[in-house]
Chains A and B, each alone.
Chain A
Amino acid sequence: MTIPLAPQAALLVGVLSALSLGLLRRPPPSALRGVAIGSVVSAALLALQAPIGDAGSTAILITDAKSVGWLYLICLGALPLALWDDGTDDVFTALFLGSLLGMSLLASAANLPMLFIGLEFMSLPAYLLVARSRPGARALEAAVKYFFAGGVAGALFLLGLSLYYADTRSLAFSGTLTPLGQAGAALMAACALFKLGAFPLNWWLPDAYEAAAPEVSGFLSTAMKSAAVLFLMRLCELAPEARFAAFLPAIGAVTALTGAILALRQQNLQRLFAYSSISHAGLLIIGVGAWAAAGRSADGVTALLFFLGVYAFMSNGVFAFIKHSGLETRAQLKGRGPALAVPAVAFTVLLFSLGGIPPTGGFLAKLLVLWRAVDADLLWPAIAGGVSALISLAYYLGMTRDLWFEAPSGPAPKPGPGAALVIACAAGALLLGAAPWFMSGLIGTIWP
């Protein structure tokens, strides 16, 4: 028996259960943890049996190959945060699952208003997640900044939507566009680029990622980023004639370079990885541009899916290491390798993978995306992407040097829990590089 939209239903049940548990005087932490982990896992499992392609032309929610693939990605990116959840804050659990529900709606949206609903459903809880994740004024300030940035993005989308509707009299797929519709599509794309942190709409991202708890930053940089990439792809599909797609490779190239260059001088680790995630977003935007330029082929989707899959391991892994080790700045990183032992080795593997060095998954991910760009005759964006990877190596290798080759100074913070998660993420990133054929087999089953 197959039920359409079962994954979304599972997440909705999760949100409601978390809120109901919160009505108890002392909600049992194990129950809240169970709800968080259970909802994410069951959503992923239910996505497996979702019937593909049964939507009529008027449906607002569809289940196609992309939505299934991205549901996996989103659940994969969100699972670490579910594992970190200690079950003491029922509202946090509900917000987390609510944001995830928004992403799953976004993944299945078939027309523009539904895309907007999914977008806001995903974003609003995320602002509160940032605010609640850590005590203190800094998280609140970052959350307010994040909220205003998100509000601007939402307004851009609505403005674009109204222009688009004024032109086409349609809220869904459209074949031809006048300049009015073109402007509308471009504004909607600007909203998606905002969410991805594309240059020059990237200023809010480092503040939010730095102030939030590391595991929340991990969630934002993986699950949310995956959803934003699909958001951009859906816009390309809804308006195939839209001209904004032709600018994506250039925007991606500039974003990749900006993120890599700005990360060079960062001292705070979370801020550094925030800039690194901007750089990776640039590569993803190049990938979306190449996919759109090459006639939206399945190859381009595979490349993006693989990239995001590997990135879910890499980014969650490094943020988990920050949480586990308690280290906050690059100076504190110095000489800690031997004392932290296996998690430090795992962190090193993750750094090499982020830097795109074979034989790790990060290399293959960059290779696939840049290759799509070369194949679509986008040679200069591909070269810029390669150069950004090169620049980024300076800080990935720099952190490896700090960790292993330098002498420690001062007392180290006591490592907390989460070593297993760091190791699991590193193993995932390594396995996807050394034996990607399993993964391609997996994609092959989703993508006949």
Chain B
Amino acid sequence: MTMPLTALWMVPLAGAALCAVAGPRAKHVALGASALFLFLAAGLAWMQKSNAAFAVINELGPILAYGISYRLSADALSFGMIVLTAFLNLICVIASWDLKVPAGYWSCFLALAAALTGVFLARDLFFFYIFWEATLIPMFFIIGLWGSSGRQHAAVKFFLFTFAGSVFMLLAILALVSAHHRVTGVWTWDLAVLDARALGAAAPLVFWGLVLGFAVKIPMIPLHTWLPDAHTEAPAAGSVMLAGVMLKMGVYGLLRVAIPLFPTVSWDALPILGGLAAFSTIYGALCAMAQTDLKRMIAYSSIAHLGFCLLGVLSRTSQGLAGGTLQLVNHGLTTGALFLMVGFLYERSHKRGLADFGDLATRAPYLAFFFGFATLASIGLPGLNGFVGEFMSLSGALESGPPIFAFAGVLGVTLAAGYALPAFQAVFWAPAGPGSVSDKVIDLNLRERAILWTLSGLMLWIGLYPQPWLAWFEPALRGLVR
């Protein structure tokens, strides 16, 4: 086992290439590759967890040019995100099983998984950036080719917005690498070696360049306007990957790049960043309340949920960091489940407006049960996963930083119930209106139920017994506590 980390991103990439040539059997290849990918990721993660010698797995390639070197590194945080990617990727493949789609669909999902894995593995900023941008290409085609009516516009908007942020991130990285070279005489892009003190007075400018790239991805208000379109127009599985993993790239970037490189500057930026995060929680919830489209409502709720993650992470307390990171996983599971269910509804009725349904609880009891379960998890009901993450994030925010942030967060939690529960009531309990298409909806089949049982089980597990999950991330976050 000389190149375990390379194998981790090469397996889905090879799967993507195989799918492209597999013709009608592409989905079987995709299922096999996704399962193998999850098995590999979970296996390596377990090995990393159980053996202290592998607390951080490194894979160091030779220096290629200008200090660029193929260097991968994986700690508990990386593995957490990679296992989440592999898990949601497999869920997406199973959830899309009955779709009539060409081989390219499966290729795109596997290529996306490969690029995402690369982002979470890269230790060299050059490769970090390459993987970061490479994630856009498959998602661009997933939205543009297999999305709903406004997909063309949404795909271009999604790409342009994220690329705009990344350009400034790249310039910031270049400035950092050049400054490091000027001071030390060494060309390097290695995160473990780079020292931002070489920047001197330019450090805040470079920090904000990096943050711009991450903030678009998270997305932080006011850079969020691509998200509702992209999430709404993407196919269900695409929305799952977008919300479940791609939004987490931004927070991961803060945890892995921006905060470790700029511990002081990032702390000084807390009033602005924390303020925007706190505002996101309220603004996202208020926008979600105003939506008439179920999918768009969930998309806006994502903005609010990522605000909680940020509040926790930015507090830089052990509680807040643990809660914010756990909330990343929680949001992937909960919002992933909600997007899938809206997708199942849309497949059956080709509608997803709140007014298009009614009285679904009697027609589709399984759907009602799982939707209710995920909704409760999403609004942070004690005993389910959302509560743990939000509670810890908010207590972290209260411990450090102005109390107004935590107060805004609490207000956001309250408002969440204000959009999620009425939406549930309108779709599942209220009597069907005149234009209702509820009679077209048949209940979930076994495949769909199996997916949702798995997701709901995980939500319950994290809600009741979060200790193993918190302990998992703890070693990777220890160094970030202020």
Contact = CB atoms under 8 A, between A and B. Distances in A.
Interface string A373-385: 0110001001100
Given A352-B137, A374-B178, A390-B160, A405 B130 contact: no
B9 interface: no
Interface in B209-258: none
A203 interface: no
A389 interface: yes
A390 B167 CA distance: 8
Contact of B167 (A386, A400, A406, A440): A386
A379 B181 CA distance: 16
Given A358-B130, A358-B133, A358-B134, A401 B163 contact: no
A397 B129 CA distance: 20
A386 B163 contact: no
B245 to A, nearest CB: 19
Contacts of A390: 160, 163-164, 167
Contact of B137 (A357, A367, A375, A401): A357
B104 to A, nearest CB: 10
Contact of A404 (B65, B129, B144, B160): B144
Highest count of chain A CB atoms <10 Å: which of B151, B155, B156, B170: B170
A401 B144 contact: yes
A401 B64 CA distance: 35
A358 B127 CA distance: 10
A312 interface: no
A160 to B, nearest CB: 34
Interface string B62-96: 00110000000000000000000000000000000
Contacts of B145: 404-405
Contact of B168 (A371, A386, A400, A405): A386
Highest count of chain B CB atoms <10 Å: which of A374, A382, A390: A374
Highest count of chain A CB atoms <10 Å: which of B129, B130, B134, B136: B130
Contacts of B163: 357, 390, 393
B141 interface: yes
A297 to B, nearest CB: 13
B144 A405 contact: yes
B451 interface: no
Contacts of A357: 133, 136-137, 163
Given A374-B178, A398-B156, A383 B140 contact: no
B171 interface: yes
A370 interface: yes
Contacts of B54: none
Contacts of A352: 137
A400 B129 CA distance: 23
A379 B175 contact: yes
A400 B141 CA distance: 10
B244 to A, nearest CB: 23
Given A374-B174, A374-B178, A358 B152 contact: no
Interface string B161-180: 00110011011001100100
A30 to B, nearest CB: 37
B10 to A, nearest CB: 13
B228 to A, nearest CB: 19
A284 B155 CA distance: 30
B182 to A, nearest CB: 8
B175 A401 contact: no
Contacts of A397: 140, 155-156, 159-160
Contacts of B155: 397, 401, 405
A279 to B, nearest CB: 15
A380 to B, nearest CB: 11
A374 B175 contact: yes
Contacts of A370: 171, 174
A359 B131 CA distance: 8
A400 B156 CA distance: 9
Contacts of A371: 174, 178
Contacts of A386: 167-168, 170-171
Nearest to A406: B152
A321 interface: no
Contacts of B134: 358-359
Interface in A365-422: 367, 370-371, 374-375, 379, 382-383, 386-387, 389-390, 393-394, 397-398, 400-401, 404-406
Given A359-B130, A404-B141, A437-B64, A394 B160 contact: yes
A387 B159 CA distance: 15
A386 B130 CA distance: 16
Contact of A440 (B65, B159, B160, B164): B65
Nearest to B165: A390
Contacts of A405: 144-145, 151-152, 155
Contacts of A401: 144, 152, 155-156
Nearest to A402: B152
A301 to B, nearest CB: 14
A363 interface: yes
Nearest to B156: A397
B103 to A, nearest CB: 13
Interface string A225-239: 000000000000000
Contacts of A379: 171, 175
A393 B137 CA distance: 13
Highest count of chain B CB atoms <10 Å: which of A393, A398, A405: A405
Contacts of B170: 367, 386
Contacts of A440: 64-65
A362 to B, nearest CB: 12
Highest count of chain A CB atoms <10 Å: which of B129, B134, B136, B167: B167
A387 B167 contact: yes
Nearest to A443: B65
Contacts of B129: 358
Interface in A413-448: 437, 440
Contacts of A363: 130, 133
Contacts of B181: 375
Highest count of chain B CB atoms <10 Å: which of A379, A390, A397, A400: A397
Given A358-B130, A397-B156, A404-B144, A389 B151 contact: no
A398 B160 CA distance: 10
A382 B156 contact: no
A371 B176 CA distance: 11
A180 B133 CA distance: 49
Interface string A320-340: 000000000000000000000
B68 to A, nearest CB: 9
Interface in B172-206: 174-175, 178, 181
Contacts of A406: 152
B29 to A, nearest CB: 20
Contacts of B137: 352, 357
B160 to A, nearest CB: 6
Contacts of A389: 167
Given A352-B137, A382-B174, 10 more contacts: A358-B134, A370-B171, A371-B174, A386-B168, A400-B144, A404-B141, A404-B144, A405-B144, A405-B145, A405-B152
5 contacts: A358-B129, A358-B133, A397-B155, A398-B156, A440-B64
Interface of A: 352, 357-359, 363, 367, 370-371, 374-375, 379, 382-383, 386-387, 389-390, 393-394, 397-398, 400-401, 404-406, 437, 440
Interface of B: 64-65, 129-130, 133-134, 136-137, 140-141, 144-145, 151-152, 155-156, 159-160, 163-164, 167-168, 170-171, 174-175, 178, 181
8 closest A-B pairs (Cβ-Cβ)?
A358-B130, A405-B144, A386-B167, A405-B152, A358-B133, A374-B174, A375-B178, A397-B156
